[in-house]
Amino acid sequence: MALVIQRNRLAAQTAEILLGRIRSGEWPLGHKLPAETTLALGVGVGRSTLREAIRELAGKGVLDSRQGSGVFVISTDITEDWDVVLRRVSILSVFEARIAIEAEAASLAAHRRTPSDLRAIRRAFARRSDANLSVEDFVDADMRFHREVVAAGHNDVMMELFDGFVPRVRLAMIEMLKLRPIGNSEDDESAHGALVEAIADRNPAAAAQSSRAHLAGIHRALS
């Protein structure tokens, strides 16, 4: 029992070290961590302890271990209570909350967006339109697009809530698209384009409706 407790404590300490280095900017958002052997030597722990630490941070939404690709930083911080809630609830509940938040955020974006915000949204839209993206890269591009829309609403609370959803939503979307690819990519592209233009035209009602209709469609697909 004592050995198990020590090992768990060491893994937790290793997770804190990794999180500290992430927060310091050594490995920024989206960055791939060094190879397991290199990282374990750098931290001064065994590979099994390192793996436990990575699993802990993945469970808290900080890291994402992608088979065949490596471990990536997907958040630079954790909110313990919020993480516990998101692990407990179903992905459908997460999407229901996301619909409510993003529809309002889209409305605010149409009110408050700056020229710089609109350029960022258009760039993100163009990125997710690339037909050559892998499923994982497409989902990441889609998450970036929706994040830019939320950011254009200039509401810090909505931004924090959205960032909390990303790890669970990302995994659910990847799994769904691998099993059931988008049935009509032209309709999907058109729905996102309508959202962009509603924000560009400063039409809050149209922006909210476009966001709500698109996300509700995904919710139905996941049901």
Could you state, in order of their start, the residue ranges of all structural domains in the chain? 2-73, 90-222
**pLDDT at residue 222, rounded to an integer:** 67
Interval 170-213: pLDDT, tens = 887 887 787 766 655 777 888 899 999 999 999 999 999 999 98
d(CA 169, CA 173): 6
Mean pLDDT, range 14-40, rounded to an integer = 90
For the chain, the helix, strand and coil percentages under 3-state DSSP, each to the nearest 5: 75, 5, 20
Instruction: Report the CATH fold assignment for 90-222.
Output: Four Helix Bundle (Hemerythrin (Met), subunit A) (1.20.120)
pLDDT level of residue 5 (50, 70, 90 thresholds)? very low
Token pair listed for 135: 């499923």
**pLDDT at residue 121, rounded to an integer:** 97
Interval 123-176: pLDDT, tens = 999 999 887 888 889 999 999 999 999 999 999 999 988 888 888 788 878 877
**Across 79-88, 94-103, 116-125, which has the greatest mean pLDDT?**
116-125
The answer on pLDDT for 41 being more than 50 is: yes
**pLDDT at residue 199, rounded to an integer:** 98
Q: pLDDT over 70 for what percent of the chain? A: 87
Q: What is the pTM of this model?
A: 0.60
From the options 3.40.720.10, 3.30.1300.10, 1.20.1250.20, 1.10.10.10, give the CATH code of 2-73: 1.10.10.10
**Contacts by 128-134 with C-beta closer than 8 Å and gap 24+?**
128/192, 129/189
